[in-house]
Amino acid sequence: MLAAGARTYSKVTHKQNRNIIGFNKLHITEKPQIFMVFLQQGVLKKLLFCKKNMDKLIVLFVFMCMSVSHSQKKVMPESFIKSEDAKVRWVKVFELNGSKEELTERMTEHFKAREFTRNLVLENGALNGYSNPIKVKPIKGGPLYNPATGFIKIDFKENRYRVTISNIKFQPMDIGVSVGAFSAGSTVQLDFEEKTLKANQKDFKRTWFNRDYLMSFDEAFTKEMQYTETSDDW
């Protein structure tokens, strides 16, 4: 019984070995075929190419990201215009139904009732005058900018009016810290151009901060100068 059992074990072992050897032979013989298929299809070449050029691909990707970032920095609010004499003005046209005469009468009453524009005077069919200071809050949070003023001109045409704000200046602002007879804070007006233009004054500063800066003022001026009709009807 032991011998028979030994023979049975030997047969089973030999059979398993044959299967294993057969599998290995099949695996070995198929390897070149699989390799040739990959080689013919160019897959192996592509893999080797990608590995060799991985650094180049990474550099290209970083360059593309920087290019997109740089192009986005150039996007400035179109309402701010720099003139040839290096002066910045804000210009925007608003649409509103009505004849030139109707809009002139309605807008004069409207803007005279608002704090920012109550100093405007109607002359030669246009509203003109210096604004009262406006406090502008940065659109992405942070401390308030110094209150700003500007010279406003509003021209009227049928179904639209154009607002131009020029000579924008930041007003002095006391921050509430004093030592004896002296108080901390700005003491002179600062021109808008000093904050927004490059040193050579040929173009706007192409930075994220300056873009957000201009967008903050664009939003504030639009809110003040856009006419919104209200109704008490339920």
Residue-wise pLDDT tens digits, 71-94: 444 567 889 999 888 899 999 999
Residue 87 is predicted with a pLDDT of 92
The answer to whether domain 76-225 has CATH 2.70.70.10 is: no
Residue 8, pLDDT above cutoff 50:
no
Q: Tokens at residue 86, please? A: 């290096």
The CA distances from residue 96 to 107, 191, 224, 227, in Å, are 10, 32, 15, 8
Quote the radius of gyration of the chain (alpha carbons, Å).
Answer: 38
DSSP-derived pairing of the beta strands 160-170 and 148-157: antiparallel
pLDDT at site 1: 47
User: What pLDDT score does 138 carry?
Assistant: 78
- Domain chopping of the chain, boundaries: 1-49, 76-225
Q: Rounded to whole angstroms, how far apart are CA atoms 103 and 81?
A: 25
> What tens digit of pLDDT does each residue of 101-137 get?
999 999 999 999 999 999 999 999 999 999 999 988 8
- Per-residue pLDDT of 197-228, as tens digits, reads 888 888 888 888 888 889 999 999 999 999 97
Q: What is the pLDDT of residues 12-71, one digit of tens each?
A: 444 444 444 443 444 444 445 554 554 455 554 555 555 556 655 565 555 555 544 444
Indicate if the pLDDT at residue 168 is higher than 60: yes
- Say if pTM beats, i.e. exceeds, 0.85: no
Question: Cα(121)–Cα(7) distance, rounded to whole angstroms?
Answer: 119
40: number of Cβ within 10 Å: 9
